[in-house]
Amino acid sequence: MILITGSAGYIGSHCVLALLEKGYEVVGFDNLSVGHIETVEKLKLYGKDKFKFIQGDLLIENDIQKIFSNYKIDAVIHFAAFSLVGESCLNPSKYYRNNVVGTLNLLDKMVENNVLKIVFSSTAATYGEAQYVPIDELHPKKPCNPYGKSKLMIEEIMDDFDKAYNLKSVRLRYFNVAGADEKTRVGEWHTTETHLIPNVLKSALNENKTFNLFGYDYDTKDGTCVRDYINVEDLIEAHILALEYLNKFETTNFFNLGTNEGNSVKEVFDLCEKITGKKINLNIEKRREGDPATLIAKNKKAKEVLGWEPRKTLYDSIKSAWEYEKSRK
Ligand SMILES: NC(=O)c1ccc[n+]([C@@H]2O[C@H](COP(=O)([O-])OP(=O)(O)OC[C@H]3O[C@@H](n4cnc5c(N)ncnc54)[C@H](O)[C@@H]3O)[C@@H](O)[C@H]2O)c1
């Protein structure tokens, strides 16, 4: 059985569906601080007796122990975290406590219960400002906000847990995750939404809403920031390969997950207008502090070692996100 923390959230819920589709049994764990009970209900409907859910908090050790006492867990995929960069700068304590202490509690309980394999959601934010692009795994790691720092600390803790307790981890450093389940069962649903695509699509659904684009004078192809958008279903495929890698090789490793390509904010905006067939209100603002011009992943290592190949295009991601957004209205 696989334990998925953060299973009521955006990426975790897609992972539950994909694992169920592959025949795994899954236990979901989430405190519903950001994730939604409606998402859990959808997963239960689909998973039937192959999916169990425990509402609990990584900061409460007894909540974690309940999972290991009740189910035979073979490996963990750990998504649960807070991940708003701006909020992490205003309230770093909340981020270090939830992300670092919460993960430490989880790792301690794993070791105590002899569960020694974990796939971890890390992030491109562990690299900080790009010193070159595409960014490979050897790029210097200088995160510039508490969110990115919390994820880097966890990666370092995981190295020490490998040495001391033989706990093996695969850390996946995501770039910009986008899109939704093709059947619109789950998708990106954040009450505080900071991600580009859902925000543009919300403006497409509500004509009173204007999309604010920050910065038109970057040194990029059209002056707007360039990011690497990785489809959520492709991203999850890499998690399943990472799980298989851990089972087969029992080795710690880390990989970038992105497409090797970048799209500008303006390109994303234009594609959103094309896919929705709507004219979206656009307001151009000055640059925001701390937004690097270009972030693109080099994904060669994940391709070579995991045999991973992202298949979906930016068009696919926006189309599925749009279908999901409409289904929730
Ligand atoms: N979305 C992206 O583009 C992106 C990019 C890079 C990395 N990540 C990482 O991927 C992971 C998943 O991201 P997401 O977008 O699905 O986030 P999300 O907020 O939708 O999901 C995270 C889930 O974790 C739960 N959670 C948080 N703290 C918890 C705790 N202490 N105990 C139990 N549950 C807790 C929340 O309720 C939520 O359902 C996060 O770790 C995030 O940092 C996301």
> Tens of pLDDT along 215-255?
999 999 999 999 999 999 999 999 999 999 999 999 999 99
Alpha carbon separation from 122 to 152, 228, 266, 304 (Å, rounded): 8, 15, 27, 20
The confidence score (pLDDT) of residue 77 equals: 99
Indicate whether residue 177 lines ligand 1 (CB < 6 A): yes
Is there a shared CATH topology between the 2-178+229-257 domain and the 196-227+260-328 domain? no
Closest ligand 1 atom to residue 124 Cα is: 6
- Domain segments of the chain: what residues? 2-178+229-257, 196-227+260-328
Which region, left, alpha or beta, applies to residue 233 given φ > 0 means left and ψ of -120 to 50 means alpha? alpha
| β-bridge partners, 30 | 55
Q: What's the rounded Cα separation, in Å, for the pair 230 and 135? A: 14
| β-bridge partners, 284 | 213
The confidence score (pLDDT) of residue 219 equals: 93
* Per annotation, catalytic residue among 10, 24, 127, 147: 147
Q: Is the pLDDT of residue 290 over 90?
A: no
The confidence score (pLDDT) of residue 208 equals: 85
Query: Which residue has tokens 């966890």?
Result: 154
Closest ligand 1 atom to residue 176 Cα is: 3
Average pLDDT of the segment spanning 303-326: 97
- What is the DSSP code (8-state) at residue 297? B
Q: What is the Å distance from ligand 1's center to 80 Cα?
A: 4
Query: Which residue has tokens 């050790």?
Result: 61
To the query of whether residue 147 is one of the catalytic residues in this protein, the response is: yes
Average pLDDT of the segment spanning 105-110: 98
CATH 3.10.20.30 fits 2-178+229-257, yes or no: no
Span 196-227+260-328: which CATH code?
3.90.25.10
Indicate whether residue 79 lines ligand 1 (CB < 6 A): yes
* Single-letter residue type at 179: G
Pairing verdict, β 2-5 and 26-30: parallel
Q: What are phi and psi of 291, to 5 degrees?
A: -90, 110
Indicate whether residue 175 lines ligand 1 (CB < 6 A): no
Average pLDDT of the segment spanning 99-128: 98
- Rounded to the nearest integer, the mean pLDDT of the chain is 96
C-beta separation of 109 from 152 below 8 A: no
The confidence score (pLDDT) of residue 289 equals: 78
The confidence score (pLDDT) of residue 6 equals: 98
Alpha carbon separation from 22 to 17, 26, 72, 175 (Å, rounded): 9, 11, 18, 25
Q: What is the Å distance from ligand 1's center to 6 Cα?
A: 6
Q: What is the Å distance from ligand 1's center to 11 Cα?
A: 7
Q: Is the pTM of this model over 0.95?
A: yes
C-beta separation of 88 from 147 below 8 A: yes
pLDDT bin (cut points 50, 70, 90) of residue 73 is very high
Q: What is the percent of the chain with per-residue pLDDT over 70, rounded to a whole number?
A: 100
Of 125, 82, 35, residue with least CA distance to 15:
35
Q: Is the pLDDT of residue 258 over 80?
A: yes
Our mutation pick for probing the ligand 1 site, out of 32, 64, 83, counting the most ligand atoms within 8 A of Cβ, is: 83
Pairing verdict, β 176-178 and 2-5: unpaired
Indicate whether residue 231 lines ligand 1 (CB < 6 A): no
